[in-house]
Structure 1
């Protein structure tokens, strides 16, 4: 899988996690990988590791977003937008090998595909403030 495809799969997995209790996540992770079409062991290992890392930093990520998002707390944001923002913030703040511009651009592109008409500009605005 390409980096973009891997990022998209991580987004889908994070989005899925929004709707389940923490105790259900291992089963959801297993189901996710069973449904995944093009999968290589190294890709699935990377996706799972990054997914778990993002979940472990979720409170820090949400705190950063809540501090800069004027009038928009994470509890008010749409699930797609919030998931994309969390993924990008993780890449910007916790992954040195992902340039900030790439993290923002990829989140905006995914917002165009999965979000509403306003998602791309909303995600871009939040992430630009964090950059």
Structure 2
């Protein structure tokens, strides 16, 4: 019988004790040693990735600023400039909406008539 030196739990063999030590007490296993060269390579790769990440973050900040600037400009364009009746109000254009609706309907009819999956009308 093997006993845990930290908590006193008992195990049948050394393998059970080793698993308990890894899981409960966060101790590395017997084969968990990493060579210094490997650690150095990992550190170099990590530093390169951090450099790339900082470059991307800078690019994302520039993109964010450009998008916000564009959105502010669009919001200014959409604001009504005058409350008087002589000012042309920007609103919903029913002519364009009806034209687009008719176009989508014609495309839908054409697709249904040539489709082998959908029944023809």
TM-score, normalised with respect to structure 2: 0.20
Larger radius of gyration: 2
